Amino acid sequence: MKEPWQKAFGLFRGHIVLWVPCSAAGILMLALGRLQSAGIRSLIRFFSTQHSVLGGEVQSGDYFEALHRAMFVIYPLGLVKQFLDVLFFVVALVFTKNLVQSILEEQKPDMHSAVRGILPRFGEVLLFSVKYMAVMAVFAGILILFGSSPITSDRFHEFLLSKKYLLYAFSLVSEGCLAWLLLPAAIRLLRPQGSSVISTRAREMGIVFAVATSAAALALGFLTGKIESEIRLDNQGEGLVVAVVNTVIINVPQILLYIALALMAIEELNDETSHSAEPEISWSSRFSDWVRRGREWRNGPADEN
């Protein structure tokens, strides 16, 4: 287990270009979130504004009615936003793998070639994004059923909410379950089409990587949030810069995870190829060899002239 961590960290530390895909995905997600917030405010203002026949505009007094009408647009847009967030990071995963592949082949990483390498597999990228969304929806449904069940009392809910370490532990357990379900599909996405299924050892290793990097991301998110709350900002521009920097910092563990997954997909496939390239020894050849060795042992070595 030590060697995969060392290889992933070595690439992470020595090739800053591998930071680009995941950091770009995080910044795009941040921009999309800001755009969504602005769109929600505009929708609520639109539905709460009444237009008179004389061309004037009057704010409606029923704010909740305007909010209810806006929700019919906000919910579908929110679902699209979540899908795009997932899609950004799945594209970043394949992008990172292409860059790692070029580095391992001792070639100079080419951003354009890495991006072009995504296009032939974009259908699979979309399919994996849909799978991820479906699994997340199932998990969310289970949580909603568990939270609204009469079996779980209000006192139990208050206890869970009061203990942050329990929430962190539950998040890590959930991350491990997600990794167990989605890791085979993720590795297949990073391999050529028709490759074999991921081994159990690689699957377990990937789960350890996912849980460890998730724990690091939670810790970084907590620290950056605490620091950001204590910083006094003078304008929105400074706030945007801080948000971008925090996004890059929080996504650092995700970068390391993507490099590790790329290494797993590439190296395990290379091992399978090398094993399949070895000539197979038939049972008849082995039997003949055993007979020959038995005769030599019984008769002794041949006399040299």
Tell me how far apart the alpha carbons of residues 132 and 134 are, in angstroms, rounded to a whole number: 5
Residue among 266, 265, 271, 263 at smallest CA distance from 8: 263
Identify the pLDDT of residue 275.
Answer: 42
The DSSP 8-state label assigned to residue 30 in this structure reads H
Its domain, for residue 233, covers 14-273
| Alpha carbon distance, N-terminus to C-terminus of the chain | 55
Tell me how far apart the alpha carbons of residues 276 and 271 are, in angstroms, rounded to a whole number: 9
Rg (CA), the chain: 28
Identify the pLDDT of residue 93.
Answer: 95
Identify the pLDDT of residue 20.
Answer: 94
Query: Which spans in 251-302 are helix H?
Result: 252-277, 283-299
Digit-coded pLDDT (tens) for 81-126: 999 999 999 999 999 999 999 998 877 888 888 899 999 989 999 9
Tell me the average pLDDT of the chain: 79
Identify the pLDDT of residue 224.
Answer: 86
Which residues make Cβ contacts (< 8 Å) with residue 171, sequence separation at least 6?
214, 218
Q: What are phi and psi of 197, to 5 degrees?
A: -75, 150
Number of structural domains, the chain? 1
Identify the pLDDT of residue 72.
Answer: 82
Using 50 as the pLDDT threshold, list the residues of the chain that sit under it: 273-284, 287, 290, 301-305
Is 31 within the bounds of a domain? yes
Query: At 50, which helix (H) or strand (E)?
Result: strand 49-51
Q: Look up tokens 């030590």; give the residue.
A: 2
Identify the pLDDT of residue 241.
Answer: 86
In contact, 188 and 264? CB cutoff 8 Å: no
In contact, 264 and 187? CB cutoff 8 Å: yes
Longest dimension (CA), the chain: 121
Identify the pLDDT of residue 83.
Answer: 94
Is 285 within the bounds of a domain? no
Tell me how far apart the alpha carbons of residues 5 and 12 are, in angstroms, rounded to a whole number: 10
Is 289 within the bounds of a domain? no
